[in-house]
Amino acid sequence: MNLGRKFFYPIFFSLAILSCWHIASAQENRTPGADNWADWAFADYDITPNITYSTANNTDLKLDLYLPKNRETPVPVLMLFHGGGWVGGEKERNVFQLLPYLSMGWAVINVEYRLAKNSPAPAAVEDCRCALRWVFYQAKQYNFETSKIVLTGGSAGGHLALMTGMLPEKNEFDRQCPTDNNARWNQASQPSMKVAAIVNFYGITDVADLLEGANARNYAIEWFGSAKNRTELAKAVSPINYVRAGVPPIITFHGDRDDIAPYSQAVRFHAALEKSGTVNQLVTLKSAGHGGFNRQQLVDSFAAIREFLRKNNILTTK
């Protein structure tokens, strides 16, 4: 399977994000930092790569932590999950996507998870939930503002951001998370891991829809492998089946010509969220496919993210 073009964010997409975020900010007279973006990017952050947040199936699972040096008060947190159809992808290829949030002085966490060649579904969901638990567990040490945790990702990463943020507090996928203090972090005493918002870039919302029929996709089939209960499991890892009152605000960006993650899923997901009364927004990128948005679409998308976060009292600006 050729994942390079279809599933990974193109390099030009990543490089464009920073400039587009600054354009969007400048249009609002809120250009972050000095004229030289490096003034904040390098002077104001400590970077700790490859922190082990969990171990599963003999695999040490890693995350990269970008932490503001000045955090006298708790800082908001952005968690990013990479794409790749659950069968490929690397967190290191997502670095440029972090820059918009770094420019706001947020803590940023770039998460890896087990892929299908290591562990089939639902391993990736389990891992991402464990990464979120790590954030809550380490909040005091790093001064994370746990009331302002935002999840994001594209494609499979969008799906994982949605699942991580929408699962109820007691669910079967949290059972795999190892802990240092079982008395505090067991299933019965686990504290709330509610997130503030989810920024979903063309994430899969109905995984079962991709296993058979007109929307069947090889990457989804590969993620489940030979599992006999794959349809039941696919439904259990489908965000659309967790829509209910009380889920976090969700903003979705999806191209109407996406042939990898069907745009029809975004439409159905938006309708379900509306019916449940969930604060949400669907931004349709006209004539766009699976990523590869043009410059103006990126400018508009990040302006929409900023406005969405402001409306939901997550982003405050002077």
CATH number at residue 229: 3.40.50.1820
Phi, psi of 95 (to 5 degrees): -55, -45
In angstroms, the Cα distances linking 292 to 55, 86, 219, 284, 296 are 34, 19, 19, 14, 12
Q: What is the pLDDT of residue 289?
A: 97
Q: Tell whether 48 is covered by a domain.
A: yes
pLDDT at 5 over 50: no
Which is higher by pLDDT, 282 or 16? 282
Q: What is the pLDDT of residue 149?
A: 98
Q: What is the pLDDT of residue 190?
A: 60
Rg over alpha carbons for the chain, rounded to the nearest Å, is 18
Q: What is the pLDDT of residue 33?
A: 43
Q: Tell whether 5 is covered by a domain.
A: no
Per the prediction, the chain carries an average pLDDT of 87
Which is higher by pLDDT, 216 or 188? 216
Counting residues of the chain whose pLDDT is more than 70, the rounded percentage is: 81
Q: Tell whether 1 is covered by a domain.
A: no
Q: What is the pLDDT of residue 253?
A: 98
**What number is the average pLDDT over the span 56-63?**
96
Q: Tell whether 4 is covered by a domain.
A: no
pLDDT at 84 over 70: yes
Q: What is the pLDDT of residue 243?
A: 98
Q: What is the pLDDT of residue 41?
A: 54
Q: Tell whether 318 is covered by a domain.
A: no
Q: Tell whether 235 is covered by a domain.
A: yes
The helices-and-strands tally (H runs, E runs) of the chain is 11, 8
Residue 316: pLDDT band by 50, 70, 90 thresholds? confident
Give the separation between CA 121 and CA 42, rounded to whole angstroms: 38
Q: Tell whether 316 is covered by a domain.
A: no
Give me the torsion for CA of 298, 15, 318, 296, rounded to 10°. -20
* pLDDT tens-digit map of 265-281: 999 999 999 999 999 99
Q: What is the pLDDT of residue 94?
A: 86
pTM score of the predicted model: 0.88
Nearest to 115 by CA among 84, 152, 161, 160: 84
Residues 6+ apart with CB under 8 A from 192: 169
Query: HSE of 245 in the Cβ direction (CA atoms, 13 Å)?
Result: 1
Pairing mode of beta strands 107-111, 197-201 = unpaired
Expressed as residue numbers, the domain containing 137 is: 11-311
Residue 298: pLDDT band by 50, 70, 90 thresholds? confident
**What number is the average pLDDT over the span 252-264?**
97
* pLDDT tens-digit map of 6-51: 333 333 344 444 444 554 454 444 444 434 444 555 568 999 999 9
Bridge partners, residue 51, by sequence: 63
Give the separation between CA 252 and CA 309, rounded to whole angstroms: 13
Q: CB neighbours (10 Å) of residue 70?
A: 9
Counting residues of the chain whose pLDDT is more than 90, the rounded percentage is: 73
* pLDDT tens-digit map of 147-192: 999 999 999 999 999 999 999 988 999 988 855 554 344 555 566 8
Domain count, the chain: 1
Residues 6+ apart with CB under 8 A from 244: 276
Give me the torsion for CA of 153, 156, 160, 166, rounded to 10°. 90
